[in-house]
Amino acid sequence: MVESILRSVIDHPHRKWIVITTTCLFGLAVTWPAVDDYTAARQRRAELAVELEQTAASTAQLAQFEKDVKSKMANVAAMESRIMTEERVQQFRNELVQLARVHNCRMRRMRVGEPREREWYKDDHPLALRPVSDKAEKTPFVLRTRQFSVSVSGTLAGVSGLLADLAKKNQLTHAAGLKLQKSEEEGDHVVLDLEMLLIELAKPEPKKASA
């Protein structure tokens, strides 16, 4: 499916290249409700842990508390596997290099920008530069984002396969732009330029005490 869509645009008689601004084509989009779910799950897990320590409830109530805590911990673990931490960004880079090899594509360029950070609020939006509302409730987390760009070349089938595999990765990313054009160096190859935003939600690092 991906290859047929790309072929229809790359072979268009009146266009040498196309910029795709929508992200739904390859599924490389962030689902910000999931970020809120992650925030709520971590907060609720902490609350349950405190209740578990402080309560003098019956054994049955404690068992239910423990069950709730385990459930929240499982939800948090699932969400944390999608968060693009510094370590996971490096892993993501390595996986992209491997995907390029698998699909016989040439890695032309790969860049990761410096992280940008701001406070995270309830019902916030990871693509917004500031909170969605001045009265929004602050959470104990910060939003950390990194600009990521990659350029690869290969056959249309190879590039399509790489994109299809990339779309299967369930990480918190946002595809900001995709540019596809015919290669000027190799007539049967195409060049793909992809711009992404890598998203991390984390506890703020403690401030260093002044000397």
| Domain spans, the chain | 2-32+84-202, 36-80
pLDDT tens string 56-75: 555 556 666 667 667 666 66
Under 8 Å between Cβ of 176 and 196: yes
Note whether 201 and 144 are within 8 A (CB). Answer: yes
The DSSP letter of residue 168 is: T
Distances (CA, A) of 153 to 47, 63, 107, 110, 179: 50, 56, 7, 12, 12
Q: How far is CA 133 from CA 31, 121, 185, in A?
A: 19, 9, 50
Give the residue among 38, 148, 144, 145 at the shortest CA–CA distance from 92: 148
Using one digit for the tens of pLDDT, what is the confidence trace for 160-197? Answer: 899 889 888 878 888 888 888 888 887 788 899 999 99
Task: Out of 95-109, 117-131, 188-202, give the one with best mean pLDDT.
Answer: 95-109
Give me the CATH code for the 2-32+84-202 domain, please: 3.30.70.60
pLDDT digit string, tens, across residues 140-151: 888 899 999 999
**pTM given for the model:** 0.68
pLDDT in tens, 106-122: 999 999 999 999 988 88
